[in-house]
C-alpha cells in the first residue's frame, strides 16, 4: 500500500513538473489543481484575492487572517457588496511593515 502511495506522489509531482514546463497549472486525473499553484499560480496576475487565497499568500490560516482584517487588525480590505477582497499590493506592504530586522548589536 505504501508503495502505491509513493507511486501516486511521484506521478503527481511528474504531472506538476510537466505542466510547469508548459506554463499551465498541474491537474490531477479528476481535473483538480495540484499543489500551491492552485493558490498563487493562477492568481499571480490578480489585483484582489479572496480570503482563502490571501491567507495562502500570507502563509497563515483563514481564521488568523479574519482576526487581522480591518477593523479588527492591520490588514486592509476592499468590500464589493458582501464580498471581501484583499489587495495584493496591500498584502505585500503589510509583509514589509511586519518584518522584524535584527538589532545592530546582535550582528557579528
pLDDT at 105: 74
Phi, psi of 9 (to 5 degrees): -65, -40
Between 46 and 13, the more confident residue is 46
Half-sphere exposure (CA, 13 Å, Cβ side) for 76? 12
Candidate from 8-12, 52-56, 80-84 with smallest mean pLDDT: 8-12
Local confidence band at 101 (pLDDT 50, 70, 90 cut-offs): confident
pLDDT at 37: 46
- Beta-strand ranges (E) seen in the chain are 48-49, 78-80, 83-87
Which helix (H) or strand (E) covers residue 22, if one does? helix 2-22
Whether pLDDT at 71 is above 80: yes
Residue with cell 545592530: 104
Q: What is the mean pLDDT of residues 51-80?
A: 92
Which residues 6+ apart lie within 8 Å of 77 measured at CB?
69, 70, 84, 85, 86
Q: Quick check: helix, strand or coil at residue 70?
A: coil
Cα separations (Å) of 38 from 25, 34, 59, 70, 94?
A: 7, 7, 14, 26, 23
* pLDDT tens track for 22-40: 655 555 555 555 454 444 5
Cis omega (within 30 of 0) for bond into 83 = no
Amino acid at each position: 500500500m505504501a508503495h502505491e502511495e509513493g507511486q501516486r506522489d511521484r506521478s503527481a509531482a511528474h504531472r506538476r513538473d510537466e505542466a510547469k514546463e508548459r506554463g499551465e497549472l498541474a491537474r490531477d486525473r479528476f481535473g483538480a489543481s495540484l499543489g500551491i499553484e492552485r493558490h498563487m499560480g493562477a492568481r499571480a496576475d490578480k489585483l484582489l484575492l479572496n480570503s482563502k487565497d490571501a491567507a495562502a499568500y500570507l502563509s497563515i490560516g483563514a481564521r488568523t487572517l479574519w482576526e487581522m482584517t480591518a477593523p479588527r487588525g492591520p490588514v486592509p480590505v476592499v468590500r464589493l457588496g458582501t464580498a471581501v477582497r484583499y489587495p495584493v499590493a496591500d498584502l505585500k506592504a503589510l509583509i514589509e511593515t511586519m518584518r522584524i530586522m535584527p538589532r545592530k548589536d546582535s550582528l557579528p
